[in-house]
Structure 1
Amino acid sequence: MMPHPTRTTRHVFVYGTLRAGGSNDIARYRPRPQHVGDGIIAGTLYDLGPYPGAVLGGEGRIVGEVYRIAPEVEAELDLLEGVLADGTGEYLKRELDVMVGAERLHCLVYEIHPSRIEGRRTIDSGDWFAPV
């Protein structure tokens, strides 16, 4: 049985290089994030070269993993994703509910800034790790 999160922990949905086995595997952060389960969100995944970017909403689906993270990990993820308070960074930090099995979890999701996807190809499978 997993411990209940404290008020200082949050959940994050990761869909690209932060997934287990990815080049920025979230397990490298400390305190170590706890894998809660796999999930799918509505959105479109774009190929940005060495990493993907998600645009939330619409008919498409994006495959990812959900982790319970401490505030210090959230701060490090914000830096990695280039989140800026004025909304001009590479990614925008959003919040949405993600179904993980039968449980609905409120999660952070890093959405690519719309200006970064022009001319980029979509990943129709919605899975960064799926073969092309």
Structure 2
Amino acid sequence: MHPDYLHAAIADTPRVAVYGTLKQGFNNAHWLSGARRLGSDTTRALTLYDIGPYPGAKWQASKGVIIEIYEISIDQLAQLDRLEGYRIDAPAQGEYDRQQIATHFGRAWVYLYNPGVAGKRAICEGGWEMPYTGHD
């Protein structure tokens, strides 16, 4: 049984916008297995930051970063909240906060990076690429 906040969240917005390791072909894409991929979009509302093994997004104007939109279930939203360190009791204190963003497919949840990004490379156009690990 899921908490009431998850029922309300998925009833209001059954979509998620992803920009990093959850994208198709990336190492965490399996978390969206079974979700319906609606397509890609570009948003000028976010700037991505290269945190190293993953990116973080901030509400900062950009030239347009690429996001993928998925229709998700309540189970998937619960799993994504855990993966992203989202805290319903203190959203600003988790690693990521979950907020809504407008997309061509309707409003979608997006995870915004809470820690500071001083000294991190900004990605103001295009998308984040996974770092090369040296493994083929």
Global fold match (TM > 0.5): yes
What's the TM-score, normalizing by structure 2? 0.77
Q: How many residues align?
A: 119
Give ranges in structure 2 of 5+ residues lacking alignment.
Answer: 1-9, 132-136
Q: Secondary structure at the match of 1:20?
A: coil
Q: Secondary structure at the match of 1:53?
A: strand
Q: Secondary structure at the match of 2:59?
A: strand
- Within the candidate set 77, 80, 83, 2:83 is matched to 80
Q: Confirm or deny: 8 A CA contact 1:11 1:108 kept in the other structure.
A: yes
By percentage of residues, which structure has more strand? 1
Q: Which amino acid aligns with 1:67?
A: Y
1:13 paired with 2:17, answer yes
1:61 paired with 2:49, answer no
Give ranges in structure 1 of 5+ residues lacking alignment.
Answer: 1-5
What does residue 28 of structure 2 align with? Answer: 24
Q: Confirm or deny: 8 A CA contact 2:50 2:123 kept in the other structure.
A: yes
- Within the candidate set 96, 99, 117, 1:94 is matched to 99
Q: Which amino acid aligns with 1:107?
A: A
By percentage of residues, which structure has more helix? 2
Measured in 2, the distance between the counterparts of 1:117 and 1:34 equals: 32
Q: Confirm or deny: 8 A CA contact 2:22 2:31 kept in the other structure.
A: no
Q: Secondary structure at the match of 1:73?
A: helix
Measured in 2, the distance between the counterparts of 1:75 and 1:43 equals: 23
Assess, with a 3 A threshold, how the Cα gap between structure 1 residues 92 and 120 changes in structure 2: closer, same or farther.
same
Q: Secondary structure at the match of 1:76?
A: helix
Could you tell me how far 1:107 is from its partner in structure 2? 0.3
Deviates more, 1:56-65 or 1:12-21: 56-65
Q: Which amino acid aligns with 1:116?
A: G
Q: Confirm or deny: 8 A CA contact 1:9 1:71 kept in the other structure.
A: no
What's the TM-score, normalizing by structure 1? 0.79
Assess, with a 3 A threshold, how the Cα gap between structure 1 residues 94 and 110 changes in structure 2: closer, same or farther.
same
Measured in 2, the distance between the counterparts of 1:9 and 1:94 equals: 10
